[in-house]
Amino acid sequence: MIRHFARREWWADAVFYQLYPRSFRDSNGDGVGDLDGVTERLDYLSALGVNALWLNPVMVSPMADHGYDVADPRDIDPLFGDLTALDRLLAAAHARGIRVTMDLVPNHVSSAHPWFLEALADPSRRDRFIFRDGIGDAPPNNWVSVFGGPAWTRVPDGQWYLHLFDSAQPDLNWEHPEVFEDVEKTLRFWLDRGVDGFRIDVAHGMAKPPGLPDMSLTDNALLRNKEDDPRFDNESVHEIHRFIRRVLDDYPESVAVGEVWVHGNERFARYLRPDELHLGFNFRLVQADFDAAEVRAAIDNAMSAADLAGAVPTWTLSNHDVEREVTRYGGGARGLARARAMALVMLALPGAVFVYNGEELGLPQVDLPDEVLQDPVWERSGRTERGRDGCRVPLPWSGDAPPFGFSANPDTWLPMPADWAGLTVQRQDADPSSTLNFYRRAIELRSRRPEFDGGVHWVRDGAFTRDGGLRCVLNTGAAPVTLPAGEVLLASGPLTGGLLPPDTAAWLV
C-alpha cells in the first residue's frame, strides 16, 4: 500500500513539466533556448497549471551529448546563461508557486572534466574512473556502449577507460570516496541555491560488478538492457541512492526522481524503498501500444511496482529520449486523437505526472535530414539508429513561419518544420478546442476536483474509476461505444449522441 506520510508531500500528485532548455525559448538570438527564455515564459507554464519543472542539463558541458557530459557540475554553461540567470528563474518560478528540479548525472562526467584530464596526464590519478589494461590489443571485456560501438576507449599509453555511453562520457568509479564527496558537494550547491530536487540520470547505473564480467551481446537497443546485463542494476547501486537520500533529507521539501530501466517489479521497487528515491520513472505506459488491454496492463504493472515499496507511482507518455506520442500512435489526425486520449488516461491516475515540453501542443516527431542530426547515437551506431533529435525540435510560439517566435534567429539549433504554423502557442491559445487548451483544462480539473482522490478500480479494459468518484473511459476500438451514465467533465475529442468515438477518452462524474 502507498505509504502514509506525516503530511502530503508536494510531489506526490504533482504535474511536472519536463523542459528541454535548448528547445523551449531563446532569449538572446543565438538559436538555442536558454534559462532567461524559460523565465520569460513562466506565465505560460503557470497558465498550463504545472506544479514543477524538470530542467534537462544546464551545467557546463562541451555538449557531446547535449549536456549529459558534464565538465563542471556546479556552474551553468554559458550557452544557457549563468548562475544569476538560474537565480532569476528560481525566484520567478517560486513566486508563481512552481518548483524547479534539475538533472543530476552521477554515472559519468565529461572527458573535459578536470578529473579526467588529470587522469590522462597522470596514470596514478585514474582511480576515480574505470581504467583497465586490455587483453592483448583487445578491450578489457566485451561491453558495448548504449549509444553503439565499444564501451571502452584506449588512451595513448595503452590502457582503456570505460564509458557506457559516448567516449566523451567516462564512467565514474563509485568505489572511490572522492566521487561520493564531490556528488554531495554538487547536491548541496544546488539545493542551497534554492533548487527543489533532482531527476537522477541512469539511476540504475553507477555501480559496477566485481571483475567486470562479459555481457550477452544479443540486445543493445537504446534504453533497453537484458535482465542479466552486468552494466546496470548492480546491488551496490542502492547504497549510492541511500547516500543521495541522506543528503536530500537535510532539505525536507526536496525530491529525487530516478530514471530506472530495470526488469521486474521487485527490482524496480528496490529503488523506491523509504531511504532511496522518492519517485522512479516506470516506462511501461510509454512502451504500451494504443490498445485498451495493453494500457491496463501497463497501468497495473506500474502501480504494483510502486505498491511493493509503498511508494507513489510516476507517469509519463514521452520525454527527450523517445519518439513523440503523436507519431508513436500512428501520426496525423489519428495519432493526435490517440495522444489526447492517452493524456486524459494518464492525468486521471494517482501519483506524479510528467509532461514533456511540446506534448501539450500535440507536436509530432520530426523527420530531420541526415546532415542536421546531432545525437551521438547517429554516428556511434554507424548511422543505423537516427537517435533522439526528432523529439527535441524547438517549440513553436507564434507567427506563420520558422522560427515561430522561438528565437530571433532563423538558424535554430535544429530546424523547425515549415508546416507548424497551426501548432503554435499563439494559434492554439485562441482555439478553445486546441490541444493546448485541452491540456490546461485537464490539469486544472485534476488539481481542483475531489473526484480524483483515492485508488484505481477497473470496470473493464479501457474503463476505471477513482475512489473520489471519477470515471475514465478510453475507446481504442474501431467503433463508438456507449458512454456510462453521468456528467461528462472533459473529453479528448467531440462526443455525439451519448457515444464515445474511437481513439477518444472521457472523464465522467
Report pLDDT digits (tens) over 80-99. 999 999 999 999 999 999 99
* Domain at 296, CATH number: 3.20.20.80
Q: What is the pLDDT of residue 148?
A: 86
**Candidate list 166, 182, 196, 201, residue with the active-site label:** 201
At 216, the pLDDT band (50, 70, 90 cuts) reads: confident
pLDDT at 376 over 90: no
Query: Which percentage of the chain shows pLDDT scores above 90?
Result: 92
For residue 282, tell me if it sits in a domain: yes
Is residue 341 domain-shared with residue 462, that is, in the same domain? no
For 252, counting Cβ atoms within 10 Å of its Cβ (0-12 exposed, 13-18 middle, 19+ buried), the class is exposed
CA atoms within 13 A on the CB side of 229: 24
pLDDT score of 1: 42
Q: Which of 448, 470, 487 lies at the terminal end of a domain, its last residue?
A: 448
Helix (H) or strand (E) holding 88: helix 83-95
Grid cell at residue 438: 485541452
Q: In terms of domains, do 470 and 434 share one?
A: no
Inform me whether the pLDDT recorded for 32 exceeds 70. Answer: yes
pLDDT (tens digit, 9 = 90+) per residue, 187-198? 999 999 999 999
Distance from CA of residue 183 to its chain's centroid? 21
Task: Mark whether 290 and 410 lie in a shared domain.
Answer: yes
- Whether 6 has a pLDDT exceeding 50, the answer reads no
Considering the domain boundaries, does residue 191 fall inside one? yes
Are 255 and 203 within one domain? yes
pLDDT tens column, 418-468: 999 999 999 999 999 999 999 999 999 999 999 999 999 999 999 999 999
The structural domain count of the chain equals 3
Contacts 24+ apart (CB under 8 A), 246-251: 246/275, 247/184, 247/187, 247/188, 247/191, 248/187, 248/191, 248/197, 248/278, 250/188, 250/191, 251/191
User: Domain limits at 125?
Assistant: 114-162
Q: Assess whether pLDDT exceeds 60 at residue 361.
A: yes
Tens-digit pLDDT profile for residues 401-418: 999 999 999 999 999 999
Give the three-class secondary structure for 46. helix
Instruction: Tell whether 261 and 153 lie within a shared domain.
Output: no
pLDDT of residue 164: 97
What pLDDT, on the 0 to 100 scale, is given for residue 8?
78
The question of whether 259 is a catalytic residue gets the answer yes
Q: Is residue 301 part of a domain?
A: yes
User: What does the pLDDT average to over 337-366?
Assistant: 98
Q: What CATH number should be reported for the domain holding residue 150?
A: 3.90.400.10
Is 260 in the same domain as 364? yes
pLDDT band at 493 (very low <50, low <70, confident <90, very high): very high
Catalytic-residue membership of 379: no
Residue 152 in domain: yes
Question: The domain spanning residue 488 has which CATH number?
Answer: 2.60.40.1180
356 and 497 belong to one structural domain: no
The answer on pLDDT for 226 being more than 90 is no
What whole-number percentage of the chain has pLDDT above 70?
97
Any domain includes 100? yes
Check pLDDT > 60 for residue 7: no
Q: Are residues 421 and 500 in the same domain?
A: no
Average pLDDT, integer, range 105-120 = 98
* pLDDT value for 2: 46
Is residue 326 a part of any domain in this protein?
yes
Residue 167 lies inside a defined structural domain of this protein: no
Judge if 413 and 318 occupy the same domain: yes
Query: Of residues 36, 259, 325, 359, which has the active-site annotation?
Result: 259
Claim to verify: residue 297 and residue 311 sit in the same structural domain: yes
The answer for residues whose C-beta is within 8 angstroms of residue 46's C-beta and 6 or more apart is 96, 97, 98
pTM, rounded to two decimals: 0.96
311, part of any domain: yes
**For the ranges 98-112, 204-218, 428-442, 481-495, which has the lowest average pLDDT?**
204-218
Mean pLDDT of the residues in the chain: 95
pLDDT of amino acid 48:
98
Q: How confident is the model at residue 330 (pLDDT cuts 50, 70, 90)?
A: very high
Q: Specify the residue for cell string 526488469.
A: 263
Do residue 321 and residue 251 come from a single domain?
yes
Residue 324 has a CB neighbour count (10 Å cut-off) of 25
Same domain, 416 and 477: no
Cα–Cα distance for residue pair 342/325, rounded to 1 Å: 9
What is the pLDDT at residue 394? 98
